[in-house]
Every structure is written in C-alpha cells, then in structure tokens.
Amino acid sequence: MTNHPADLGLIGEVTVSLSVELGRTELALREVMALGQDSVVALDRLTDEPLDVLVNGRLIAKAEIVAENNRFALRIVELIGGRRATDAPVSEAA
C-alpha cells in the first residue's frame, strides 16, 4: 500500500476544509471593540513571507498568493511533513 493520491480509493472523495492564514496578532478586548470601518490591524507576518496553508486546521504547506482568472489563488512553495507534490494547481474556490 502506498500513500500516492491515486491509491486513496473512496476516502479520496472525502471533503476537507482548506484555509490560508495571513498572520496573527493579539489585541486587548477594548482594541477589538474599537475596530471600525477603515481600521488597520497589523499582523505578525511580513508581506514577502509565505502563507500557512491548513487542512482542517493542520499545517500542510506554505504558499504565495497569485491571481488566476481575476481570483485569488495559491502557489504551493513548500510542503510540510514530507508530503508529495503534484502538478495539479490549487486554484478552485470551495
């Protein structure tokens, strides 16, 4: 038995949630309550750093934002935990 995606059978059809994390910060509750339109919240990540790609809350890759057909898309730049890369782009929104 291998871990290749083609060998997953029916389990390969299970839907998972993929999300991208831009960064994090901590705010006091009073700061959150003071947020309004045009508020700016600085995050801990630099603009040129790769973003975290999570599947069901678990980090699986690092990526950069690209545009495809006038929509946000991801280009995977690093797979976490020795996962295998494929040639298939990740560009469809869920």
Query: Would you write out the chain's pLDDT as a tens digit for each of its 94 residues?
Result: 445 556 678 888 899 999 999 999 999 999 999 999 999 999 999 999 999 999 999 999 999 999 999 999 999 999 998 655 454 444 444 4
pLDDT of residue 29: 98
Model pLDDT, residue 91:
47
Cα–Cα dist 74/87, whole Å: 13
- The DSSP code for 6 is G
User: In angstroms, rounded to a whole number, what is the distance separating the alpha carbons of residues 90 and 43?
Assistant: 25
Q: Which fold has domain 16-79?
A: Surface presentation of antigens (SPOA) (2.30.330)
Rounded to 10 degrees, the C-alpha dihedral 89/76/80/46 comes to -150
Note whether 22 and 51 are within 8 A (CB).
Answer: yes
Q: Where are the domains of the chain?
A: 16-79
